[in-house]
Amino acid sequence: MSAVQTPPQADRPTVPAGRFSGLLRAELHRFTARRFIRLLLLTAALVWVGALVIGLLNWSSPTPERLAAAEQQRQEQVELSAQGRAECLEQVPADAGMTPDEWCGPPIQDSDFPIDMFISPPPFSFAEQGPTGAAVLGLLAGALAFLVGATFVGAEWSSRSMTNLLFWEPRRSRVLGAKAAVVAAASVVLGVVAQVAWLAMAGIWQGVVGDGRALPDGFWSEFVGAEGRGVLLTVFAGLIGFGLTNLVRNTGAALGTAFIYVLVVETAVRALRPEWQPWLLTNNVTALALPDGLTVVVEQGERVDAQGNVFWETTEYLITHLQSGIVLTVVTAVVVGVGVVLFSRRDVP
């Protein structure tokens, strides 16, 4: 008679509970079944309709004669400003210690005087407001994706369905991987829908209450770039909301943490460590959304020049799309990655 030795639990081979695609389908079903997520999306759709109506009521398409008169007024204003700048350049002191652009400002452009400044009520201008609107929709879609990602995993913890799920699939990293993949895919869809919604809204406004102007050269490349960054920002926000909520295991706590970070931590950093502003999360989010990035003014403190004059030195720092993309990628990876590690090691109630 021989005895059979059973290997320890940790040494036993792991038997897959099912295909990863099956886990993805289950998580997708959970995602689409959340009533709060449906409510958020319905609210966003109603806000879109409300914004469309408000725009139609507050803009007005000008007649060709009124538009031509406004263009003439703008050109006169541009020429007047350019003349003033030219006179300023002739009077720049040799010992000013500043460049001509710093002393008199940059050259005047038509875009410095939007056409709606000379028309009342103003028309909607897709040529001037298209890329900016895409950036704004990207920020709004990002905020919505943050809420969706947070409430998706937060509901799992609140209802304790996370525990039940581990009886079916004990490999925790696969569980969180499937949930994160669903949130990322949903964020992509949400970001694309938001940008399409903006294009549809802008098209209606341009057709009904627009200025009728031809689009400038390079407009579509700038516009598509703004929409692409808006979709990318939506994905970052959805995953950060998902990862942060998974860390604290409660949707309300995650929203409170984000609120404290934005209003308390970043305010304290701006006051106590202004040189850290280029690395703040909200600044990098804004820089990724805006067409030209974000320029922040960093205070360097009091300085004394060669003549003994005391002045407050400041420097401008441009947060580029590349920097903001790298910063948000690192933050997203850290928040989601730490959550996966802790989920794999901590007890699940």
pLDDT of 349 reads 64
Cα gap 19→100, rounded to integer Å: 66
How remote is the C-alpha of 90 from its chain's centroid?
Answer: 43
Say if residues 241 and 146 touch (Cβ distance below 8 Å). yes
pLDDT of 9 reads 47
pLDDT of 1 reads 41
Which residue type sits at 204?
I
pLDDT along the chain (349 residues), means of 10: 45 58 86 91 95 92 80 87 85 72 79 78 87 94 94 85 78 88 95 96 92 85 94 96 91 92 93 90 94 86 70 84 95 93 75
Closest CA to 127 of 205, 197, 68, 55: 205
pLDDT of 18 reads 67
Ordered alpha helix ranges (H), 1-97: 20-33, 35-58, 64-90
Task: Enter the pTM of the model.
Answer: 0.79
